[in-house]
Amino acid sequence: MARIEWVKLRLNNWALWKARETGGGLGWASQSSFLNDARTDRYREAAIPIDDVDAATTNTAVESLREERPHLYTTLQCVYPDGLGIKETARRCACAESTIKAHLDQADQALALWFRERAEKKSFTT
């Protein structure tokens, strides 16, 4: 089974959002505002924009897996916010790499269903 590309993109955005969350970047400045423009390195990297609303919604979707499907939740946490990759996640979970890949496929399907049901609920209320 192939991964669902739009779900992967949402999960990548969510991982960046979680990284900022743990780094103190939600709502509070992590450095003085006048230091934002003062770069001392020669190479400037473009900041990757994060859609906070999309990431928060994705976080809610991922959290919905915690009770119902903890193996998928754990896999997503290890691969995306923790950035462990498939090999290290498989090692930590004491399973095969193919199992982690299958978990990612299953998580994509579960999240796609969650987003579909959410959209249907929204369409009924409007």
User: Where are the chain's structural domains?
Assistant: 5-21+52-125
Taking residues 72-78, what's their average pLDDT? 98
Q: How far apart are CA 39 and CA 114, in angstroms?
A: 42
Does pLDDT of 28 surpass 70?
no
- Which residue type sits at 78? C
> Tell me, what's the pLDDT at 43?
58
Q: Which residue has the tokens 């299958």?
A: 102
Mean pLDDT of the chain: 86
Q: How far apart are CA 115 and CA 108, in angstroms?
A: 10
What's the topology of domain 5-21+52-125? Arc Repressor Mutant, subunit A (1.10.10)
Q: How far apart are CA 87 and CA 91, in angstroms?
A: 6
pLDDT digits (tens, 9 = 90+) for 79-113: 999 999 999 999 999 999 999 999 999 999 999 99
